[in-house]
Structure 1
């Protein structure tokens, strides 16, 4: 299935997809946020400080009378410069282009499965700036197999689960983690769609280099096609 055909497939699924956050949160309580290198506000605080991140996010939400800030697909971000995990010695391979959508809201909030699936894998990715606790669901719909990734979860989310567990559409199967466990960020969910997960388990790149963008963009379509946020 070509990338464009797969997007049409996702659009069809979106008609019955469940929100990944609490459905009681009104659409008017969502506000977009720009975390790309073009946003001068990111120069006004220490992006290496999770507490500064939380203050920045809370201020953004309060000023817009919102509960959730969202966005980020294919944003080129400078915030990953804080971690050597994203910045190898070969600067041409610096990873700074974001491949999912982030939802910034309070720690402890439930995360819901948009579609029925099974637990493909899970892991606590503990590199500085990494996902922290992560769950990947596998979906088989109309003979198409694809995956959704949920990063920056709580440790409790991966405590009593196993590969192959069935997760129903609309099931609250995880909660958001705090900065202490989520890679040292303000609490948020990283949601990503993956067509071919290859040999990855409990992990998959959520940020890529410019050099590899075409490959990852083809394999990780815009999650909004499924979620219908904008």
Structure 2
């Protein structure tokens, strides 16, 4: 499948919003958590409380309800966890492959397009996804997957592989820091073309060596987030 054709297909879709209808387009506030953001020099991004305070400062200062961003951002937040850091600096994983939506714990998440439950798992490594759900989509001859990370534990209850999911159906709620990998509440949303043998998990952060592969396999998720559709 050519990347151009896949992007054209994704752009042709009219997805349901991931978040509840009370979150309108003007409520989304851009958030920069990259190493280049000078405002973060005075923030301990490894601290849940400090990062949460920063995120909500950005949201409230801009009169928003949700902060968004992060695709291909090189971040310092992962330095706190050995799960992302290796002895070789070249293999340190700090480039974010999804798009984050920062909003209150308990917020309902909806399926953007129809599909089936591919897999789900509670990923308990420090700094990992926590509860994670993956949907399998087969639409108009195109096959792909969407990943939803940092969910509540309740989101995995009563799920079965192969269950049908309708467009706009509630699929999850967001988890608190004590279950979501130790982050301020947010959704990690990611598109995956080829998921290989992964079950309930897929890399959401990569190193610079593998970046070109992941850019091809995980296109910009904003293409399936309704407020950002062109």
| TM-score normalised to structure 2 length | 0.97
Alignment RMSD (CA, Å): 1.0
Structure 1 position 97, deviation (Å): 0.7
Instruction: State how far apart, in whole Å, the 2-side matches of 1:5 and 1:23 are.
Output: 30
Structure 1 position 34, deviation (Å): 0.5
Q: What secondary structure does 2:90 align onto? A: helix
Count of aligned positions: 228
After superposition, what is the alpha-carbon deviation per residue over 1:30-88, rounded to whole angstroms, capped at 9, x for unaligned?
11011110112222222111122211112111111110000111111111111111001
Equivalent position to 1:112, from 107, 110, 120:
110
Structure 1 position 226, deviation (Å): 2.1
Aligned to 2:24: 26
Instruction: State how far apart, in whole Å, the 2-side matches of 1:135 and 1:43 are.
Output: 33
Instruction: State how far apart, in whole Å, the 1-side matches of 2:225 and 2:64 are.
Output: 18
Instruction: State how far apart, in whole Å, the 2-side matches of 1:90 and 1:229 are.
Output: 39
Aligned to 2:156: 158
| TM-score normalised to structure 1 length | 0.97
Structure 1 position 22, deviation (Å): 0.9
> Runs (4+) of structure 1 moved beyond 6 Å?
none
Note if contact 2:17-2:227 (Cα within 8 Å) is conserved in structure 1.
no
**Residues 1:183 and 1:103: Cα distance change in structure 2 (over 3 Å):** same
Q: What secondary structure does 1:118 align onto? A: strand
Aligned to 2:172: 174
Q: Gapped runs of 5+ residues in structure 2? A: none
Instruction: State how far apart, in whole Å, the 2-side matches of 1:96 and 1:229 are.
Output: 27
Structure 1 position 143, deviation (Å): 1.9
Note if contact 2:16-2:226 (Cα within 8 Å) is conserved in structure 1.
no
State how 1:1-230 maps to structure 2 within 5 Å. Answer: 1-13=1-13, 16-230=14-228
Instruction: State how far apart, in whole Å, the 2-side matches of 1:179 and 1:44 are.
Output: 22
